[in-house]
Structure 1
């Protein structure tokens, strides 16, 4: 065989080998969106299994199962049944215990501003209608609030009958984390779950660009652009569910001490390793004075925060010490 033929044969073998490698290591992209958790949930992922459409459906089924467990408003959910039980002692499982542990930690860190026992107050505020609850009804609801009123173990929850739990400030993040675990267990290599402002990115080799919704502009306008890797990014804002009366905005993030919507911030974005932590902290920090929120954020490793607040007619912000590294220059 001539030398030239040998070279051509080697090249052919290399090309075939590369093609075979690409064939056996092909990646397939999947995406689906569905209304769940009171918002639009989008799941996108990449895997080497070309028959992964059923996996998407199972992921959404898992979300539905958790919603039936943790929903405050859905009649018949596990949480609804606990809140409406005449018994002061009810059985709980490991997942309820985990949520309660996170809630208790933030209750004390926030000086009792973050409180999942706010359920009776939440019921008074209907943001689908332009209505402010009476002062008397708010004060009655406030008497039932206080995480110190409940006791819990890995198996049982003890609560006064008038005290109702609302996990709306962290359940969505918790569910996102469980879905990510499910996808990873099924050999999904990378993906993004976005549930109406609660986002978790995993398995990406390069950072992903994400916009922060402008709290006082049109829905698709961003105030900043972030570049984040395999982390959770969650934003809480006073523009998500609200009504206005006489020029005053009443939104869904309630301060248990006043009984009314918090007036300290207008938007808080948290970057953290898990969605449940980012979700819970975005609400807890929203309830604090911006300076205190940043002080708390800087005490947490692997967490970065930006707080937007109204300063007369201007929107100002405060950032945690390393938040700027995530910002994309405009």
Structure 2
């Protein structure tokens, strides 16, 4: 089994922070204030243009507190989180409003992508994890029997939820890793906008801009297949928009790199269609969810799906290396 996993997301702010050192904690560098930390286990960054450094520091404290609050609800890796309790018990009474909102949003994306986006994929993910954790793991992957049992526990139609309760089918489990970072990013944007911030780039695993840079130019976000890339293969310019990128190469279960972490909830592991899929949208949760799902969809299916999201732009690099852009032009 691979001992060290790279972060699920494969996006980097290559150009947005040119010349600006980012340090843990809040630090003023000229006019902008930069903060580095973690959100849902992934590196997080905030670049805030604010005339009052003391107020900027207080806003950073609010951001950190909000991230901690949301992690206590949405994290799959905290034993005391609401999500872990739901997976443990199979039901949850009076779910936190953030969890209820994410499940409602997930159902929309599940419907609009023909089931390619499905947060109940967790049992399938666990099957690959457990298989390749064994020292004698078959390099061809889990057995058909194990895959069949996992797939029988996958399907968002087996989840019933409203503001009062969430109930799942037997032995089902949910992961929100395909949308939660975008949701957290959106929540931080809401807080900053309510406080009067007009120029900021928020990265809580996905990027979303408030306004433009201080000089009036768009924020520049680099797209790349891997976080380790030295330079982007494409730069997008955004104002009041969000960007998310997913790549199967961001995480591999096996040493040979055959089995990527983005699993088809209808089939299991599939061959990578794209080197990376980037989505630009009005909010980060939409960009997050669609960038995940579109890795599993043919181009014509992506083109059909984005008819329901007219504000969305898809920038993808095919497995062979050619690049195409679908949807709204930017």
Q: Give the TM interval when normalised to the shorter protein.
A: 0.7 to 0.9
SS at the partner of 1:154?
A: coil
SS of the aligned residue for 1:209 comes to strand
- Residues 292-303 of structure 1 mapped to structure 2, 5 A cutoff: 292-303=301-312
1:85/1:161 contact within 8 Å kept: no
Q: How many residue pairs are counted as aligned between the two chains?
A: 291
Evaluate the alpha carbon distance shift between residue 243 and residue 117 of structure 1 in structure 2; reply closer, same or farther with a 3 A threshold.
closer
C-alpha distance in 1, partners of 2:271/2:160? 27
Report the CA distance between 1:46 and its aligned residue.
Answer: 1.5
2:249 is the alignment partner of 1:239: yes
Change beyond 3 A, Cα 1:99–1:262? farther
Distance change in 2, residues 1:28/1:222 (3 Å): closer
- C-alpha distance 298-318 of structure 1, shift in aligned 2 (>3 A): farther
The within-5 A match list for 1:1-330 is 28-51=31-54, 52-85=56-89, 88=91, 90-126=93-129, 132-196=141-205, 198-204=206-212, 205-214=216-225, 219-246=229-256, 248-261=257-270, 263-310=272-319, 314-323=320-329, 325=330
1:218 to partner: Cα distance: 5.4
Partner of 2:16: none
Computing the radius of gyration over CA atoms, which structure comes out larger, 1 or 2? 1
The offset of 1:74, in angstroms, is 2.1
Question: In 2, Cα distance between the equivalents of 1:171 and 1:321?
Answer: 24
Distance 2:282 2:323 in 1: 23
RMSD, matched Cα: 2.4
| Change over 3 Å in CA distance of 1:98–1:161 after alignment to 2 | same
**Unmatched 5+ residue regions in structure 2?**
1-29
Structure 1 contact 265–289 (Cα < 8 Å) conserved: no
**Structure 1 residue 265, shift from structure 2 partner:** 2.5
> Aligned equivalents of 1:278 and 1:50: distance in 2?
31
Structure 1 spans left out of the alignment, 5+ residues? 1-26, 326-330
1:81–1:64 Cα change, 3 Å: same
Deviation at 1:159, TM superposition (A): 1.3
Distance 1:214 1:221, change over 3 A: farther
Instruction: Provide the secondary structure at the position in 2 that maps to 1:99.
Output: helix
Tell me, in whole angstroms, the C-alpha distance in 1 between the residues paired with 2:245 and 2:152: 30
Helix, strand or coil for the counterpart of 1:118? helix
The TM-score normalised by the length of structure 1 is 0.81
Q: Distance in 1 between matches of 2:295 and 2:270?
A: 11
SS of equivalent to 1:43:
strand
| Structure 1 runs, 4 residues or longer, greater than 6 Å off | none
Offset, 1:298: 4.1
Corresponding residue of 1:5: none
Judging changes above 3 Å, is the alpha-carbon distance between structure 1 residues 288 and 234 closer, same or farther for their aligned structure 2 residues? same
1:113 is paired with a residue whose SS is coil
Other structure's SS at 1:92 match: coil
Q: CA deviation at 1:138?
A: 2.1
Alignment check: 8 A CA contact 1:83 1:161 kept: no
TM-superposed CA distance for 1:90, in Å, is: 2.8
